[in-house]
């Protein structure tokens, strides 16, 4: 069996294809990316030396609209990873019924090793290299792992310089002053929050009696942890790349977020004085967190965190995937055999691309919405498609992951078939 991330991702598609009646043309086209580009980005470093970084952009499918997907800066970025992420984004956009196809990009580096000036030169150099491959009606960029609003602003500005016109629609997740949308920075977490609140009541779960562990305390995981905590859920464990903490009575998530934002770490988490509650806690590893006896586990870090090697150790009743691809296809079967409900990434983390769509619409219309308007529109989208996916899961007796792919496949198949298939061309007039 291939160790490729894309090969593993594709196995989910094969499973869902058994339940849909889309044309052979459509199913064949969805097995291959439409276009890929690999670029070298020379950057003059602050000490005068020159480094060359490898960058990628994949546009997997644009049948339903221009490509849409983030750009990540990470040491593990590869063409295989970027292609897999673009594949997932294709189905995510279809699942949420957004007029986009799927795309993704990235640069292989450790961004923590670069100064802000070097990161700016790298970001602008990336756009120099791929400018002819992207555009507001071709392929739209967004933030991802280790990229943020400032970096998106640099990228939008560089594209505008190259094209000699202001082009806010080429990038979403920008600063508000450059055409960004209210609510974009919290959109992924907020969307997941709406989905979780839609699902758990179906199992008669109430917040006060539900324990939660969150792996990945970055921007998305930390915001979701705080939203859940404020809603009454008991968040008992969180972790970042350096490790985590656990307290059976629950954690003071706002204080942890405040400390991490200031110190970029989670050591000595609890502040002194009256501003937060001091509770005893254990220091745990990321592996320990995944095996905790909790009601809900939320992987919000990177892909391939739960595999066939550790799936047997998972004790949670529900897993909500906030990261892209945190569970391998081999682990899916093990978790299902244990009676664990898994709610897939292409649904749970779709809030980010949904509000990116809202930002793109606002850029094109010149009319901008309030935070309440954005959150209300996001809630309507997430609740509607969560309910639709749940209904498919129940009707066909399939997992929520398979149901999500079925729902997306039906929309993608209809769009592809509208352009003509073998049956159409062979049909006698």
Tokens 């006060």 locate to 208
The arrangement of strands across the sheet holding 282-284 comes to: 282-284, 243-246, 234-240, 211-215, 296-299, 318-320, 341-343
Q: What are phi and psi of 236, to 5 degrees?
A: -100, -15
Task: Determine the Cα–Cα distance for residues 271 and 259; give it in Å rounded to an integer.
Answer: 8
Task: Determine the Cα–Cα distance for residues 340 and 123; give it in Å rounded to an integer.
Answer: 41
* Cβ proximity of 9 and 84 under 8 Å: yes
Which one-letter DSSP state was computed for residue 308? T
Task: Determine the Cα–Cα distance for residues 94 and 102; give it in Å rounded to an integer.
Answer: 9
Task: Determine the Cα–Cα distance for residues 196 and 320; give it in Å rounded to an integer.
Answer: 8
Contacts of residue 363, Cβ cutoff 8 Å, sequence gap at least 6: 136, 168, 169, 179
Q: What are phi and psi of 212, to 5 degrees?
A: -135, 140
Half-sphere exposure of 25 (CA within 13 A, CB side): 14
Tokens describing residue 311: 């799936």
Give one DSSP letter per residue of 362-418, joined into a string: HHHHS----HHHHHHHHHHHHHHHHHHHHHHHHHHT--HHHHHHHHHHHHHHHHHHT
- What sign has the CA pseudo-torsion 29, 30, 31, 36? positive
Which residues participate in catalysis according to the annotation? 104
* Cβ proximity of 389 and 95 under 8 Å: yes
Task: Determine the Cα–Cα distance for residues 389 and 116; give it in Å rounded to an integer.
Answer: 42
In angstroms, the Cα distances linking 61 to 29, 65, 401, 409 are 9, 9, 20, 12
Task: Determine the Cα–Cα distance for residues 205 and 258; give it in Å rounded to an integer.
Answer: 29
């Amino acid at each position: 069996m291939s160790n490729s991330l894309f090969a593993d991702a594709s196995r989910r598609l094969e499973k869902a294809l058994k339940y849909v009646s889309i044309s052979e043309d459509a199913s064949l086209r969805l097995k291959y990316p439409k276009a890929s580009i690999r670029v070298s980005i020379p950057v003059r470093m602050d000490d005068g030396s020159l480094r060359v970084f490898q960058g990628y952009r994949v546009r997997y499918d644009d049948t339903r609209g221009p490509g849409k997907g983030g750009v990540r800066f990470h040491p593990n970025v590869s063409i295989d990873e970027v292609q897999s992420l673009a594949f997932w984004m294709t189905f995510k956009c279809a699942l949420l019924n957004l007029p986009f196809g799927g795309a993704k990009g990235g640069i292989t580096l450790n961004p923590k090793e670069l100064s802000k000036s070097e990161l700016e030169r790298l970001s602008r150099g990336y756009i120099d290299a791929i400018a002819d491959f992207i555009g507001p009606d071709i392929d739209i960029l967004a933030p991802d792992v280790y990229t943020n609003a400032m970096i998106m602003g640099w990228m939008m500005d560089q594209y505008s310089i190259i094209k000699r016109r202001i082009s806010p629609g080429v990038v979403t997740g920008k600063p508000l002053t450059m055409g960004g949308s209210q609510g974009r920075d919290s959109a992924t977490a907020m969307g997941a929050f709406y989905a979780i609140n839609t699902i758990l009541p179906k199992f008669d779960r109430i917040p006060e009696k539900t324990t939660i562990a969150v792996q990945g305390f970055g921007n998305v995981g930390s915001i979701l942890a705080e939203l859940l905590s404020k809603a009454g859920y008991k968040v008992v464990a969180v972790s970042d790349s350096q490790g985590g903490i656990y307290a059976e009575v629950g954690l003071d998530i706002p204080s942890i977020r405040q400390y991490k934002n200031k110190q970029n770490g989670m050591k000595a988490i609890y502040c002194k004085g009256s501003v937060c509650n001091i509770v005893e806690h254990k220091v745990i590893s990321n592996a320990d967190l995944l095996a905790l006896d909790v009601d809900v586990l939320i992987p919000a870090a990177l892909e391939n965190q739960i595999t066939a090697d550790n799936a047997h150790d998972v004790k949670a009743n529900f897993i909500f995937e906030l990261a892209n691809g945190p569970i391998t296809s081999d682990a899916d079967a093990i978790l299902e055999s244990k009676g664990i409900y898994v709610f897939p990434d292409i649904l749970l983390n779709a809030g980010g691309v949904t509000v990116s769509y809202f930002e793109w619409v606002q850029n094109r219309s010149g009319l901008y919405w309030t935070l309440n308007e954005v959150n209300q529109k996001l809630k309507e989208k997430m609740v509607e498609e969560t309910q639709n996916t749940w209904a498919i899961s129940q009707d066909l007796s399939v997992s929520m992951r398979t149901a999500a792919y079925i729902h997306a496949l039906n929309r993608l198949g209809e769009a592809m078939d509208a352009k003509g298939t073998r049956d159409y061309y062979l049909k006698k007039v």
